[in-house]
């Protein structure tokens, strides 16, 4: 008991400055160093006996999601002074202030048959107010992770003022086998590496998948015919259709238009690679670039009016922006080295890219006019950035050096902080981050 009181006193002294602030529970994500917001998640209440497991699992997942951003720091349950035994019970704010939990998340889970409901409340401990209102999500017991991600997304969103990214999926290439006999399969996972499902077998090389804007379909490059061709795959029923290309042509690097009805991609013929756009229903295609150089890796701006792409027209890979209908392009990358795989951010303000310089690969971001270039990573081989739905995190592939080299996926904040591997069994590459799920 004495020990506990002492701990509280120490905490109170440490917590002093936070008390003094007394402002609303709000974190503004900037590029600077952020002091994480501390939060407590007492295990969610199980409102039905069958909900016990799900309640424990969901509370843990909410903690994992929030702490995983690097913007929040969990106050562990061992420090709790009071417990929350009921969702309806008034919150004893002094007990949470005493352990310096700035945010408190309480929740309850109900399970009826295979149906699961989770509700939660978010409290700003130091102002003693609820932040936003209680919110409830309904789903299935099997889909409990989605419910946990939804709670975490709502909390993230209320505290940061920005959209979340936890209830989202990533399509990627699952890899196995040595470098000279690499087997590749298309797969999808939750953003955190859970719930992996395979979409193709490994009988053909598959590359660089891209989600449609609403996540219902995936575009990817397949070597089924021995030649790179573009497939459109329906995620729900795994049905697929090939984009028609003329004999002798190689088609790859496909991306959906913002309305999901058209495909922007590269076509190679006679040693020359240019960017085209094809309407998926009519099959009509339009050529958007016509240079004798390699034009590939197109990415549309969020408003769909512009395309950022890479070209070696200057002699090596650089980034360019042109109208979505083609025409004159302006170069935006001017630093040392080569720049490829540009991807426009969901907010429209930044372009993520792969940079190759002095024998190293980097993932970086720059403004759309090429200014404020910032390298976020550095390794033997990093490539292929993709944006989280809220534009705060970038996922990419990292291949390790040497004969035993393997590929894994990593994520990093656009500030360059919080670099971490996506936990998966086996190798993985070419992530494409889908939208927040409805």
Residues in touch with other proteins (CB under 8 A): 178-184, 202-205, 207-208, 221, 223-228, 248, 250, 252-253, 266, 268, 270-273, 294, 296-297, 310, 312, 316-317, 340-341, 354, 356, 380-381, 383-384, 399, 401-403, 405, 430
Report in angstroms how near the CB of residue 347 gets to other proteins at its nearest: 24
Partnered with residue 363 across adjacent β-strands are 354
Closest by CA position to 341, among listed 298, 389, 304, 277: 298
Report in angstroms how near the CB of residue 331 gets to other proteins at its nearest: 16
3-state secondary structure of 316: coil
Closest by CA position to 317, among listed 286, 289, 342, 343: 342
Report in angstroms how near the CB of residue 370 gets to other proteins at its nearest: 19
CA–CA separation, 279 and 322 (whole Å): 19
Q: Which is nearer to other proteins, 28 or 336 (CB)?
A: 336
Partnered with residue 276 across adjacent β-strands are 265, 287
Q: Which is nearer to other proteins, 71 or 251 (CB)?
A: 251
Q: Which is nearer to other proteins, 130 or 249 (CB)?
A: 249
Report in angstroms how near the CB of residue 223 gets to other proteins at its nearest: 6
Partnered with residue 224 across adjacent β-strands are none
| Tokens of residue 88, six digits | 């309806």
Report in angstroms how near the CB of residue 18 gets to other proteins at its nearest: 46
Q: Which is nearer to other proteins, 197 or 203 (CB)?
A: 203
Report in angstroms how near the CB of residue 189 gets to other proteins at its nearest: 20
Report in angstroms how near the CB of residue 184 gets to other proteins at its nearest: 8
CA-based angle 397:398:400, to the nearest 5? Answer: 150
Distance from chain centroid for Cα 144: 20
Q: Which is nearer to other proteins, 94 or 292 (CB)?
A: 292
Partnered with residue 272 across adjacent β-strands are 269
Residue ranges of alpha helices (H) inside 130-264 are 144-160
Q: Scanning the structure block, which residue is given the tokens 């907010």?
A: 347
Q: Which is nearer to other proteins, 231 or 354 (CB)?
A: 354
| Tokens of residue 224, six digits | 């089924």
Report in angstroms how near the CB of residue 403 gets to other proteins at its nearest: 4
Q: Which is nearer to other proteins, 389 or 431 (CB)?
A: 431
DSSP character for 434? Answer: E
Q: Which is nearer to other proteins, 228 or 346 (CB)?
A: 228
3-state secondary structure of 66: helix
261: left (phi over 0), alpha (psi -120 to 50) or beta: alpha
Report in angstroms how near the CB of residue 115 gets to other proteins at its nearest: 42
Closest by CA position to 426, among listed 194, 174, 188, 178: 174
Greatest alpha-carbon pair distance for the chain in Å reads: 81
Q: Is the dihedral of CA 407, 413, 417, 423 positive or negative?
A: negative
Q: Which is nearer to other proteins, 73 or 182 (CB)?
A: 182
């Amino acid at each position: 008991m004495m020990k506990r009181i002492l701990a509280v006193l120490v905490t109170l002294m440490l917590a002093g400055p936070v008390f003094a602030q007394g402002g609303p529970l709000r974190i503004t994500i900037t590029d600077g160093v952020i002091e994480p917001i501390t939060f407590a998640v007492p295990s969610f209440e199980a409102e039905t006996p069958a909900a016990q497991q799900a309640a424990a699992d969901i509370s843990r997942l909410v903690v994992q999601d929030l702490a995983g951003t690097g913007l929040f720091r969990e106050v562990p349950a061992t420090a709790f002074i009071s417990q929350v035994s009921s969702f309806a019970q008034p919150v004893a704010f002094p007990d949470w202030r005493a352990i310096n939990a700035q945010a408190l998340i309480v929740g309850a889970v109900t399970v009826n048959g295979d149906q699961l409901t989770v509700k939660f409340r978010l409290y700003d401990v130091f102002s003693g107010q609820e932040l936003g209102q209680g919110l409830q999500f309904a789903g299935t017991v099997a889909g409990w992770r989605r419910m946990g991600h939804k709670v975490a997304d709502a909390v993230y969103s209320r505290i940061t003022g920005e959209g979340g990214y936890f209830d989202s999926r990533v399509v990627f290439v699952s890899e196995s086998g040595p470098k000279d006999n690499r087997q590749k399969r298309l797969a999808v996972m939750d953003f955190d590496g859970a719930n992996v499902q395979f979409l193709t077998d490994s009988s053909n090389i598959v590359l660089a998948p891209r989600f449609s804007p609403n996540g219902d379909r995936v575009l990817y490059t397949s070597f089924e015919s021995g030649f790179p061709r573009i497939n459109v795959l329906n995620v729900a029923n795994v049905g697929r259709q090939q984009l028609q290309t003329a004999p002798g042509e190689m088609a790859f690097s496909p991306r959906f238009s913002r309305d999901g009805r058209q495909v922007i991609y590269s076509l190679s013929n006679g040693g020359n690679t240019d960017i085209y756009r094809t309407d998926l229903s009519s099959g009509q295609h339009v050529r958007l670039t016509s240079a004798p150089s390699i034009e590939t890796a197109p990415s549309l701006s969020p408003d769909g009016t512009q395309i950022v792409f890479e070209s070696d027209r200057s002699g090596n890979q650089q980034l360019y922006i042109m109208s979505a209908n083609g025409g004159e392009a302006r170069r935006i990358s001017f630093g040392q080295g080569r720049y490829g795989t540009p991807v426009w951010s969901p907010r429209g303000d930044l372009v993520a890219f792969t940079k190759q310089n002095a024998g190293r690969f980097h993932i970086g971001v720059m403004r759309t006019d090429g200014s404020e270039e910032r390298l976020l990573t550095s390794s033997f081989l990093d490539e292929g950035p993709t944006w989280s739905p809220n534009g705060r995190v970038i996922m990419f592939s990292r291949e390790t050096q040497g004969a035993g080299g393997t590929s894994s996926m990593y994520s990093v904040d656009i500030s360059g902080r919080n670099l971490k591997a996506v936990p998966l069994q086996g190798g993985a590459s070419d992530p494409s981050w889908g939208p927040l799920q409805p």
